[in-house]
Chains A and B, each alone.
With several copies, the nearest count.
Chain A
Amino acid sequence: QDKSIVVASTTSTQDSGLFEYLLPLFKKKTGITVKVVAQGTGQALDTGRRGDADVVFVHAKSAELKFLSEGQGVKRYPVMYNDFVLIGPKSDPAGIKGMKDVAKAFQTIKDKQASFISRGDRSGTNIAELKLWKDAGIDIAKDHGPWYKAIGQGMGAALNTAGASNAYVLSDRGTWIHFKNKGDLQILVQGDKRMFNQYGVMLVNPAKHPNVKKDLGQQFIDYLVSPEGQKDIANYKINGEQLFYPNANDHSA
Chain B
Amino acid sequence: MTGDGTALHLVLSGDPAFYAIVRLSLIVSLSAVLFATLIGVPVGAALALTRFPGRTAVTVLLNAMMGLPPVVVGLAIFLLLSRSGPLGSWGLLFTPQAMVIAQTVMVTPIIAALTRQTVEDLWAEYREELAAMGVGPVRRVATLIWDARFSLVTALLAGFGRAAAEVGAIIIVGGNIDGFTRTMTTAIALETSKGDLPLAIGLGLVLITIVIAINGLAWGVRLAGERYAG
| Stretch of A31-39, A74-82, A188-196, A240-248 on the interface side | A31-39
Using known A-B contacts A51-B84, A151-B177, A183-B84, determine if residue A42 contacts B93 with beta carbons closer than 8 Å. no
**The 9 nearest A-B residue pairs measured at CB:** A156-B193, A40-B193, A42-B195, A181-B195, A152-B190, A51-B83, A46-B195, A37-B175, A180-B196
The residue in chain B whose Cβ has the minimal distance to the Cβ of A176 is B195
Give how many A residues have a beta carbon under 8 Å from the other chain's beta carbons: 53
- Contact status B197-A17, CB under 8 Å: no
CB-based contact B94/A45 at 8 Å: no
Shortest Cβ distance from B160 into chain A, in angstroms? 25
Q: Complex formed: what's the CA distance from A157 to B155 in Å?
A: 33
Interface size class of B (residues with CB under 8 A): 20 to 34
Assess A50 versus B84: contact at CB under 8 Å? Given A151-B177, A161-B175: yes
Contact B94 A6 (CB under 8 A): yes
- A154-B171 Cα distance, complex, nearest whole Å: 11
Report if B140 contacts A (CB, 8 A). no
Q: B177 is contacted by which of A41, A42, A149 (Cβ under 8 Å)?
A: A149
A164 engages B176 (CB within 8 Å): no
CB-CB under 8 A for A37 and B194, given A180-B3, A183-B84: no
A35 touching B175 by the CB < 8 A rule? yes
Considering the complex, give the chain B residue whose CB is closest to the CB of A159: B195
Question: Using Cβ atoms and an 8 Å threshold, which residues of chain B touch A159?
Answer: 195
A164 touches B83 (CB 8 A): yes
With A17-B3, A161-B94, A183-B84 known to touch, is A149 a contact of B194 (CB < 8 Å)?
Answer: no
Given the complex of chains A and B, what is the CA–CA distance between A164 and B29 in angstroms?
24
Would you call A122 an interface residue if the criterion is a C-beta within 8 Å of the partner chain's C-beta atoms? yes
**Residues in chain A near residue B196, CB distance under 8 A:** 42, 180-181
8 A-B contacts (beta carbon < 8 Å):
A39-B195, A43-B193, A122-B194, A152-B176, A152-B178, A156-B192, A160-B192, A164-B82
Q: Which of A4-19 contact B (CB under 8 A)?
A: 6, 11, 14-15, 17, 19
Contact yes or no, A149 B180, CB < 8 A: yes
Given contacts A150-B178, A157-B192, 9 further A-B contacts (CB under 8 A): A20-B2, A35-B177, A35-B178, A37-B175, A42-B194, A50-B85, A178-B194, A179-B195, A211-B83
